[in-house]
Amino acid sequence: MTEEISRLRGAAGEINVVRPIVVGVVNATPDSFSDRGDRSTAASVAQVHEHLEAGADVIEVGGESNVTNRPAVTAREEIDRVLPVVEAAVSAGAIVSIDTYKPEVATAALDAGVSIVNDISGSGSVEMLEVCAARGAAMVVMHTEVPPKTQKWDESLYPDGVVDRQVEFFESRLASLAAAGIERDQVVIDPGPDFAKTPAQTVESLQGLDRLNELGCPVMLAISRKDFIGALTDRSPGERAAGTFAALAFGLEHGAKLLRVHDVRGTVDFLKVWHALQGEDPVPAGLRIAEEIRRNPTAGNGLG
């Protein structure tokens, strides 16, 4: 039986992961695949506060979208995008993660108080490992077979199965991290939904979460609004909430610890009901619904 994972050690201290952690996504970039509208620094800072008020446990800030039809931005531009948002999140008392594969960006963010580095390149950069090891940062190691901002759909890519390849990949990465001084209690594993995976391969990957849990690191579910959900449901990113919650429910059943989501409020509500039904949170016998929220108000008099 896999030993229960209870903590994640980051640059700003330990994070309790006995219960699921909600990681609220803040895209400080104008070309996110799922966020539209005002993408200014002020709007990103406002989103930080909205996520925290909604109950996010961690704020993750990213300054470069992984969309494949836009060029990569320079480290300097990415730093300029994320640093004010990171500083605002740290000032608000948040545990902060930076979504970057550039060591220069990670360094600037860690200097500003970030605790976790989420490296979507697969954490193969020696320089990135040195930066994170020197600062005591936690690292999210994501499985991918392609460089950032590229995509690959190849039904023959995993001849021995996606999960066998992922286990091999993560064991190799964990050995490299350990050699650099980053221990397993500082590492989060992300199976990388959609990254070098067809929808069928992503589903197969998530069905193998039990095996990934055996590696002894908390697992992140970064499935919010992803393409595989859109392919299954024929929905655009803004219409993928139901599919996202279904994937979260499955992941929780199979030991996922960190839930990386855009809809923090909806995810927190989902978890409240989840914990109650699991018997993890008591439901008082005297609990009743408030009259003002029993029904939707009518346009005329506000009464249901």
Complete DSSP assignment for the chain: -PPPP-EEEETTEEEE-SS-EEEEEEE-STT-SS--S--SHHHHHHHHHHHHHHT-SEEEEESS---TTSPPPPHHHHHHHHHHHHHHHHHTT-EEEEE-S-HHHHHHHHHTT--EEEETT-S--HHHHHHHHHHT-EEEEE--SS-TT-----TTS-TT-HHHHHHHHHHHHHHHHHHHT--GGGEEEE--TTTT--HHHHHHHHHTHHHHHTTSS-BEE--TT-HHHHHHHT--GGG-HHHHHHHHHHHHHTT--EEEES-HHHHHHHHHHHHHHTTSS---TT----GGGTSPPPTTTS--
Question: What pLDDT score does 304 carry?
Answer: 45
Task: Give the chain's domain count.
Answer: 1
Contacts with 169 (C-beta within 8 Å, 6 or more apart), sequence order: 122, 143
Provide the token pair at 77.
């531009």
Question: What pLDDT score does 66 carry?
Answer: 80
Cross-strand partners of 43: none
As a whole number of angstroms, the distance between CA 111 and CA 135 comes to 9
Q: Is residue 98 part of a domain?
A: yes
As a whole number of angstroms, the distance between CA 279 and CA 14 comes to 26
Question: What pLDDT score does 29 carry?
Answer: 86
163: domain CATH number is 3.20.20.20
182 residue type, one letter: I
Q: Is residue 5 part of a domain?
A: no
Q: Is residue 2 part of a domain?
A: no
pLDDT in tens, the chain (304 residues): 356 789 999 999 999 999 999 999 999 987 555 555 567 899 999 999 999 999 999 999 999 988 766 778 999 999 999 999 999 999 999 999 999 999 999 999 999 999 999 999 999 999 999 999 999 999 999 999 998 878 888 999 999 999 999 999 999 999 999 999 999 999 999 999 999 999 999 999 999 999 999 999 999 999 999 999 999 999 999 999 999 999 999 999 999 999 999 999 999 999 999 999 999 999 999 999 999 999 988 755 554 4
Q: Is residue 4 part of a domain?
A: no
Q: Is residue 205 part of a domain?
A: yes
What is the pTM for the complete model shown? 0.92
Q: Is residue 303 part of a domain?
A: no
As a whole number of angstroms, the distance between CA 304 and CA 295 comes to 5
Domain span holding position 272: 17-293
Question: What pLDDT score does 289 carry?
Answer: 96
Q: Is residue 102 part of a domain?
A: yes
Q: Is residue 246 part of a domain?
A: yes
